[in-house]
Amino acid sequence: MSVALIESLDHEGRGVSHVDGKAIFIEGALPGEKVEYALLRERPRYAQAEVRRVVRASAQRVVPPCAHFGSCGGCSMQHLDALAQAAAKQRMLEDALWHIGKIEPEIIHALIDGPAWGYRHRARLSVRVVPSKGGVLIGFHQKRSSHIADMQSCVVLPAQISALVPALHVLIAGLSVADRVPQIEIAVSDTATAFVFRHLLPFSARDLNALTVFADTHGVQVWLQPAGPESAARLHPQEGPGLAYTLPEFDVRMDFRPTDFTQVNVHINRLLVRRAMQLLDPRPGERIADLFCGLGNFSLPIARLGATMVGVEGSTSLVARALANAESNGLAARCEFHAADLFESTEDSLAALGPLDKLLIDPPREGAIAVVKAISAAQRPRRIVYVSCNPATLARDAAVLVHEKGYVLRGAGVANMFPHTSHVESIALFERD
């Protein structure tokens, strides 16, 4: 068995060591540890491995509370103390900014942190019928595999949702088309909880009755999704509140469908919106664009603070719901929304939005390279707040803003949106030099 001393964590939460000049990425290892490891895959310049025995443990190693940790791919860092996880993510952000963008922020913003357990208000559980493994499997995918880590509970789901996992096994096992239900999407909101059952064949009358009983017994909504996300429709109960989350600090309520994108961690989202508004500092008389605006998570607080807001989003259905949210919150007079492919942004398309004092960008993992390249001397907002879910694309885009567009990276910091995973959510502030 090979032995290694662990130097650091990589962006996937794996321990990094160097053996005979080759980088070894070791799952389950922590910085400062001495471990025995077994190779999983070897390449000329690096290798992937997993821990077989911890010879000398880190003081930051903890016992994972989840019985599925190690096989389930949902979490990768439960063996590391929660505060140490956050510090590691901050280092991942700073390393990406420096190594990819050749940039250092003037200041590091304080960590945005919250509950470490029961935080996940959105989840997509895979379902598979495997008779050789006991029947119905429900859970996240296993590490490095398309197989399902069969769960009976989940410590990152809210306790009341985790407690329903055994009931889901029973429900699915009794359906006539159990082998044609590939996933269950769960959305927990301030007003209701929805379970969306993706199904590839129609349910029988008996199936529909079982789903209705499940909804009534557990006080949840059951939705059916026969095709794409927009096909999802509520089965039961037909009456009652829709899904919504609130941003109390800004007196905003956001209505959404269970298949819409919303942040997984409602606690961190509220703090992230607060931080974004502090950095952006919207004021009456200003005109501010919110790019990749989605349902209006940042748009409506911007408008509530008095600025005129221009939201742009690629999905026409999300644009419609953002407008509806603006209207229901009494903010439509200060909001306009447009559907456009921001990955195809040009100087002309950005200029078509009109003069902009400030800009908020909240892209998916691919980042916003077309947007930042489209910023011109004529259309150069004096302040940009960039919310990122991928340090690598943030660093790439930051390099354009700083080295080509004349901005200064005033500050950057981490929001611990996904505790116990290697996912790094961050926020950065750029200002014209």
Would the annotation count 290 as a binding residue?
no
How buried is 371 (Cβ within 10 angstroms: 0-12 exposed, 13-18 middle, 19+ buried)? buried
| Amino acid identity, position 421 | T
The pLDDT mean for the chain works out to 96
CB 112 within 8 A of CB 414: yes
pLDDT of residue 1: 75
pLDDT class of 133 with cuts at 50, 70, 90: confident
pLDDT in tens, 154-191: 999 999 999 999 999 999 999 999 999 999 999 999 99
Residue 287 in this model has a pLDDT that exceeds 80: yes
In angstroms, the Cα distances linking 23 to 15, 26, 42, 128 are 10, 10, 10, 37
Residue 17 banded pLDDT, cuts 50, 70, 90: very high
pLDDT at 209 over 80: yes
Question: Of the ranges 124-138, 234-248, 327-341, which one carries the lowest mean pLDDT score?
Answer: 124-138
Residue 70 pLDDT: 86
User: Binding residue per annotation — 75?
Assistant: yes
Residue 120: DSSP 8-state: -
- Per-residue pLDDT at 18: 95
pTM, 2 dp? 0.95
pLDDT given for residue 236 in this prediction: 98
To the question of whether residue 293 is assigned a binding role by annotation, the answer is no
Residue pair 6/33 in contact by the 8 Å Cβ criterion? yes
The whole-number pLDDT of residue 136 equals 95
The whole-number average pLDDT for the span 59-72 is: 93
| Bridge partners (DSSP) listed for residue 337 | 311
Asked if residue 341 belongs to a known ligand binding site, the reply is yes
What is 339-396 written as a DSSP string?
E--GGG--HHHHHTT---SEEEE---TT--HHHHHH--SSS--SEEEEEES-HHHHHH
Contact criterion met (CB below 8 Å) for 6 and 29: yes
Segment 35-58, tens digit of pLDDT: 999 999 999 999 999 999 999 999
pLDDT the model gives residue 353: 96
**Residue 433 pLDDT level (bands cut at 50, 70, 90):** confident
Please give the average per-residue pLDDT across 180-206, as a whole number.
98
**What is residue 144's predicted lDDT score, i.e. its pLDDT?**
82
State yes or no: is 293 an active-site residue: no
Residue 362, marked binder: yes
Catalytic option among 389, 392, 395, 409: 389
Determine what percent of the chain is predicted with pLDDT higher than 70.
100
Q: Using the predicted structure, report yes or no on whether residue 282 has a pLDDT greater than 80.
A: yes
Contact in structure between 359 and 276 (CB atoms under 8 Å): no
Check the annotation: does 335 bind a ligand. no
So what's the pLDDT on residue 26? Answer: 96
Q: List, in order of start, the domains of the chain with CATH numbers.
A: 2-61 (2.40.50.140), 94-115+265-432 (3.40.50.150), 122-188+193-240 (2.40.50.1070)
Tell me which DSSP letter residue 332 carries: G
Confidence of residue 216 (pLDDT cuts 50, 70, 90): very high
Residue 218's H or E segment, with its range, is: helix 205-218
pLDDT at 226: 98
pLDDT of the residue at 96: 96
Q: What is the enclosing helix (H) or strand (E) of 401?
A: helix 391-403
Is the distance from CB of 37 to CB of 88 less than 8 angstroms?
no
